[in-house]
A and B are shown apart, each in its own frame.
Chain A
Amino acid sequence: SAVISQKPSRDICQRGTSLTIQCQVDSQVTMMFWYRQQPGQSLTLIATANQGSEATYESGFVIDKFPISRPNLTFSTLTVSNMSPEDSSIYLCSAVRGGGGGETQYFGPGTRLLVL
Protein backbone atom coordinates (compact mmCIF):
# COMPACT_ATOMS: atom_id res chain seq x y z
CA SER A 1 0.00 0.00 0.00
CA ALA A 2 0.95 3.67 -0.22
CA VAL A 3 0.74 6.08 2.71
CA ILE A 4 -0.39 9.49 1.53
CA SER A 5 -0.47 12.71 3.53
CA GLN A 6 -1.91 16.10 2.65
CA LYS A 7 -1.36 19.58 4.00
CA PRO A 8 -3.28 21.52 5.12
CA SER A 9 -6.04 19.24 6.40
CA ARG A 10 -8.48 22.14 6.30
CA ASP A 11 -8.54 25.87 5.68
CA ILE A 12 -10.89 28.81 5.57
CA CYS A 13 -10.03 31.32 2.86
CA GLN A 14 -11.33 34.63 1.58
CA ARG A 15 -12.65 34.90 -1.95
CA GLY A 16 -10.12 36.05 -4.50
CA THR A 17 -7.18 34.44 -2.73
CA SER A 18 -5.30 31.24 -3.62
CA LEU A 19 -4.45 28.13 -1.63
CA THR A 20 -1.79 25.52 -2.38
CA ILE A 21 -2.38 21.96 -1.19
CA GLN A 22 0.52 19.58 -0.79
CA CYS A 23 0.42 15.83 -1.28
CA GLN A 24 3.25 13.58 -0.10
CA VAL A 25 3.54 9.83 -0.72
CA ASP A 26 5.78 7.62 1.39
CA SER A 27 7.36 5.90 -1.62
CA GLN A 28 7.77 6.39 -5.33
CA VAL A 29 4.58 6.06 -7.35
CA THR A 30 3.98 6.13 -11.06
CA MET A 31 0.79 8.13 -11.13
CA MET A 32 -0.77 10.84 -8.99
CA PHE A 33 -4.21 12.39 -9.34
CA TRP A 34 -6.24 15.23 -7.86
CA TYR A 35 -9.95 14.87 -7.17
CA ARG A 36 -12.64 17.19 -5.88
CA GLN A 37 -15.47 16.00 -3.67
CA GLN A 38 -18.19 18.55 -3.06
CA PRO A 39 -20.25 18.16 0.13
CA GLY A 40 -22.34 15.01 0.00
CA GLN A 41 -21.23 14.25 -3.55
CA SER A 42 -19.04 11.79 -5.38
CA LEU A 43 -15.43 12.24 -6.45
CA THR A 44 -14.63 14.09 -9.66
CA LEU A 45 -11.21 13.88 -11.26
CA ILE A 46 -9.56 17.27 -11.73
CA ALA A 47 -6.32 16.21 -13.38
CA THR A 48 -3.49 13.73 -13.63
CA ALA A 49 -0.27 15.12 -12.17
CA ASN A 50 2.55 14.21 -14.52
CA GLN A 51 6.08 14.07 -13.19
CA GLY A 52 8.25 16.66 -14.88
CA SER A 53 5.60 17.87 -17.32
CA GLU A 54 2.29 19.71 -17.43
CA ALA A 55 -0.70 18.08 -15.79
CA THR A 56 -3.47 16.55 -17.88
CA TYR A 57 -6.79 18.21 -17.06
CA GLU A 58 -10.28 16.75 -17.30
CA SER A 59 -13.12 18.49 -19.05
CA GLY A 60 -14.30 21.47 -17.04
CA PHE A 61 -11.00 22.07 -15.25
CA VAL A 62 -8.28 24.43 -16.50
CA ILE A 63 -4.68 25.06 -15.59
CA ASP A 64 -5.20 28.73 -14.79
CA LYS A 65 -7.68 27.84 -12.07
CA PHE A 66 -6.00 24.66 -10.78
CA PRO A 67 -2.26 24.78 -11.47
CA ILE A 68 -0.57 21.51 -10.52
CA SER A 69 3.04 20.64 -9.99
CA ARG A 70 4.76 17.31 -9.60
CA PRO A 71 8.51 17.82 -9.27
CA ASN A 72 9.30 14.20 -8.35
CA LEU A 73 7.76 10.76 -7.92
CA THR A 74 6.52 11.30 -4.37
CA PHE A 75 5.20 14.87 -4.21
CA SER A 76 2.57 17.02 -5.89
CA THR A 77 0.81 20.31 -5.26
CA LEU A 78 -2.59 21.62 -6.33
CA THR A 79 -3.31 25.34 -6.20
CA VAL A 80 -6.88 26.62 -6.14
CA SER A 81 -6.61 30.10 -7.64
CA ASN A 82 -8.80 33.17 -7.33
CA MET A 83 -11.18 31.28 -5.07
CA SER A 84 -14.93 31.76 -4.90
CA PRO A 85 -17.46 30.15 -2.53
CA GLU A 86 -18.18 27.57 -5.25
CA ASP A 87 -14.68 26.20 -4.70
CA SER A 88 -15.63 25.10 -1.19
CA SER A 89 -15.03 21.39 -1.31
CA ILE A 90 -12.77 18.54 -0.24
CA TYR A 91 -9.70 18.11 -2.40
CA LEU A 92 -8.08 14.69 -2.42
CA CYS A 93 -4.91 13.44 -4.00
CA SER A 94 -4.41 9.82 -4.95
CA ALA A 95 -1.56 7.66 -6.10
CA VAL A 96 -0.98 4.47 -8.02
CA ARG A 97 2.26 2.57 -7.67
CA GLY A 98 2.13 0.33 -10.75
CA GLY A 99 0.63 1.68 -13.95
CA GLY A 100 0.22 -1.65 -15.65
CA GLY A 101 -3.55 -1.58 -15.44
CA GLY A 102 -5.91 -2.38 -12.59
CA GLU A 103 -3.58 -1.10 -9.91
CA THR A 104 -4.98 -0.08 -6.54
CA GLN A 105 -5.47 3.66 -6.20
CA TYR A 106 -4.86 5.00 -2.69
CA PHE A 107 -6.23 8.28 -1.44
CA GLY A 108 -4.92 10.97 0.81
CA PRO A 109 -7.01 12.16 3.77
CA GLY A 110 -8.26 15.20 1.87
CA THR A 111 -8.10 18.96 2.38
CA ARG A 112 -11.36 20.54 3.45
CA LEU A 113 -11.62 24.03 1.98
CA LEU A 114 -14.20 26.65 2.89
CA VAL A 115 -14.24 29.88 0.89
CA LEU A 116 -16.03 32.86 2.38
Chain B
Amino acid sequence: GENVEQHPSTLSVQEGDSAVIKCTYSDSASNYFPWYKQELGKRPQLIIDIRSNVGEKKDQRIAVTLNKTAKHFSLHITETQPEDSAVYFCAASIDFGNEKLTFGTGTRLTIIP
Protein backbone atom coordinates (compact mmCIF):
# COMPACT_ATOMS: atom_id res chain seq x y z
CA GLY B 1 0.00 0.00 0.00
CA GLU B 2 0.86 3.68 -0.01
CA ASN B 3 3.48 5.02 2.41
CA VAL B 4 3.86 8.74 3.14
CA GLU B 5 6.90 10.14 4.90
CA GLN B 6 6.93 13.66 6.32
CA HIS B 7 9.80 15.88 7.48
CA PRO B 8 10.64 17.55 9.74
CA SER B 9 8.71 16.27 12.75
CA THR B 10 9.11 19.62 14.51
CA LEU B 11 9.84 23.05 13.12
CA SER B 12 10.30 26.39 14.85
CA VAL B 13 10.48 29.62 12.88
CA GLN B 14 10.52 33.30 13.76
CA GLU B 15 7.31 35.16 13.11
CA GLY B 16 7.41 36.61 9.62
CA ASP B 17 9.80 33.98 8.27
CA SER B 18 8.83 31.14 5.93
CA ALA B 19 8.21 27.50 6.83
CA VAL B 20 8.58 24.51 4.54
CA ILE B 21 7.33 20.98 5.22
CA LYS B 22 8.16 18.12 2.86
CA CYS B 23 6.47 14.81 2.13
CA THR B 24 7.34 11.86 -0.06
CA TYR B 25 5.02 9.12 -1.21
CA SER B 26 5.71 5.66 -2.50
CA ASP B 27 3.01 4.83 -5.02
CA SER B 28 3.10 6.61 -8.37
CA ALA B 29 -0.65 5.95 -8.75
CA SER B 30 -1.46 8.53 -6.03
CA ASN B 31 -3.20 11.49 -7.62
CA TYR B 32 -4.50 13.72 -4.83
CA PHE B 33 -2.46 15.38 -2.08
CA PRO B 34 -4.18 17.41 0.66
CA TRP B 35 -2.63 19.21 3.61
CA TYR B 36 -4.43 19.40 6.96
CA LYS B 37 -3.84 21.68 9.92
CA GLN B 38 -4.73 20.40 13.36
CA GLU B 39 -4.75 22.70 16.36
CA LEU B 40 -4.56 21.21 19.83
CA GLY B 41 -7.78 19.39 20.70
CA LYS B 42 -9.39 20.24 17.36
CA ARG B 43 -10.29 18.33 14.24
CA PRO B 44 -8.00 18.31 11.18
CA GLN B 45 -8.89 21.13 8.78
CA LEU B 46 -8.03 21.13 5.08
CA ILE B 47 -5.83 24.11 4.23
CA ILE B 48 -4.79 23.37 0.65
CA ASP B 49 -4.68 20.46 -1.78
CA ILE B 50 -3.15 19.64 -5.13
CA ARG B 51 -3.94 17.14 -7.84
CA SER B 52 -1.42 15.23 -9.92
CA ASN B 53 -2.06 17.26 -13.06
CA VAL B 54 -0.85 20.47 -11.39
CA GLY B 55 2.68 21.34 -10.29
CA GLU B 56 1.95 24.20 -7.92
CA LYS B 57 -1.01 25.81 -6.18
CA LYS B 58 -1.13 28.93 -4.07
CA ASP B 59 -3.70 30.39 -1.68
CA GLN B 60 -2.58 33.66 -0.10
CA ARG B 61 0.34 32.82 2.24
CA ILE B 62 0.13 29.07 1.62
CA ALA B 63 1.46 27.18 -1.39
CA VAL B 64 1.95 23.55 -2.27
CA THR B 65 4.31 22.15 -4.89
CA LEU B 66 4.27 18.67 -6.40
CA ASN B 67 7.05 16.79 -8.17
CA LYS B 68 5.51 13.63 -9.61
CA THR B 69 8.80 12.33 -10.96
CA ALA B 70 10.46 12.47 -7.58
CA LYS B 71 7.21 11.60 -5.78
CA HIS B 72 7.37 14.41 -3.31
CA PHE B 73 5.29 17.44 -2.43
CA SER B 74 5.87 20.36 -0.12
CA LEU B 75 3.90 22.91 1.88
CA HIS B 76 5.20 26.48 1.97
CA ILE B 77 3.92 29.05 4.44
CA THR B 78 5.20 32.60 4.01
CA GLU B 79 5.04 35.54 6.42
CA THR B 80 4.26 33.18 9.29
CA GLN B 81 2.02 34.35 12.12
CA PRO B 82 1.49 33.01 15.65
CA GLU B 83 -1.85 31.49 14.59
CA ASP B 84 0.03 29.27 12.15
CA SER B 85 1.31 27.27 15.13
CA ALA B 86 -0.25 23.80 14.87
CA VAL B 87 0.42 20.27 13.68
CA TYR B 88 0.38 19.89 9.91
CA PHE B 89 -0.32 16.61 8.14
CA CYS B 90 0.22 15.76 4.51
CA ALA B 91 -1.76 12.96 2.91
CA ALA B 92 -2.00 11.06 -0.35
CA SER B 93 -4.91 9.37 -2.04
CA ILE B 94 -4.11 6.37 -4.17
CA ASP B 95 -7.54 5.38 -5.42
CA PHE B 96 -9.36 7.71 -7.76
CA GLY B 97 -12.94 7.69 -6.57
CA ASN B 98 -12.09 5.77 -3.40
CA GLU B 99 -10.85 8.78 -1.46
CA LYS B 100 -8.90 6.77 1.14
CA LEU B 101 -6.21 8.99 2.62
CA THR B 102 -2.80 7.85 3.83
CA PHE B 103 -1.38 10.43 6.22
CA GLY B 104 2.16 11.49 6.92
CA THR B 105 3.47 11.46 10.47
CA GLY B 106 2.86 15.15 11.06
CA THR B 107 4.94 18.29 11.67
CA ARG B 108 4.57 20.37 14.80
CA LEU B 109 5.11 23.96 13.69
CA THR B 110 5.86 26.59 16.30
CA ILE B 111 5.97 30.27 15.40
CA ILE B 112 8.19 32.26 17.72
CA PRO B 113 6.89 35.82 18.28
Complex contact B31–A102 (CB within 8 A): yes
Q: Could you tell me the distance in whole angstroms from the C-beta of A38 to the nearest C-beta in chain B?
A: 12
Q: Could you tell me the distance in whole angstroms from the C-beta of A59 to the nearest C-beta in chain B?
A: 7
Question: Which residues on the B side are within 8 Å of A103 (C-beta)?
Answer: 99
Which of B34, B42, B44, B89 is the most central at the interface, judged by chain A CB atoms within 10 Å of its CB? B44
Complex contact A102–B51 (CB within 8 A): yes
The answer to the question of A52 belonging to the interface, with a C-beta cut-off of 8 Å to chain B, is no
Question: Which residues on the A side are within 8 Å of B71 (C-beta)?
Answer: none
> Measured between alpha carbons, how far is A115 from B46 in the docked complex, in Å?
30
Question: Which residues on the B side are within 8 Å of A104 (C-beta)?
Answer: 34, 46, 49
Question: Which residues on the B side are within 8 Å of A102 (C-beta)?
Answer: 31-32, 49, 51, 93, 96
Question: Which residues on the A side are within 8 Å of B44 (C-beta)?
Answer: 43, 92, 107
Number of interface residues of B (CB under 8 A): 25
Complex contact A42–B105 (CB within 8 A): yes
Question: Which residues on the B side are within 8 Å of A110 (C-beta)?
Answer: 43
Cβ proximity bits B3-20 to A, threshold 8 Å, 1 near / 0 not: 000000000000000000
Interface size class of A (residues with CB under 8 A): 20 to 34
Q: Could you tell me the distance in whole angstroms from the C-beta of A45 to the nearest C-beta in chain B?
A: 6
Question: Which residues on the A side are within 8 Å of B58 (C-beta)?
Answer: none
> Measured between alpha carbons, how far is A59 from B51 in the docked complex, in Å?
26
Q: Could you tell me the distance in whole angstroms from the C-beta of A66 to the nearest C-beta in chain B?
A: 16
With known contacts A102-B49, A109-B42, A42–B31 Cβ distance under 8 A? no
> Measured between alpha carbons, how far is A71 from B72 in the docked complex, in Å?
39
Cβ-neighbour of B97 out of A33, A100, A105, A107 (below 8 A): A100
> Measured between alpha carbons, how far is A83 from B104 in the docked complex, in Å?
27
Question: Which residues on the A side are within 8 Å of B102 (C-beta)?
Answer: 45
Question: Which residues on the A side are within 8 Å of B62 (C-beta)?
Answer: none
Cβ proximity bits A85-114 to B, threshold 8 Å, 1 near / 0 not: 000000010001001111111111110000
**Chain B residues near A (Cβ < 8 Å):** 1, 31-32, 34, 36, 42-46, 49, 51, 89, 93, 96-106
- By Cβ-Cβ distance, the 8 closest A-B pairs, closest first, are A101-B96, A102-B32, A107-B43, A42-B103, A96-B99, A43-B103, A109-B43, A107-B44
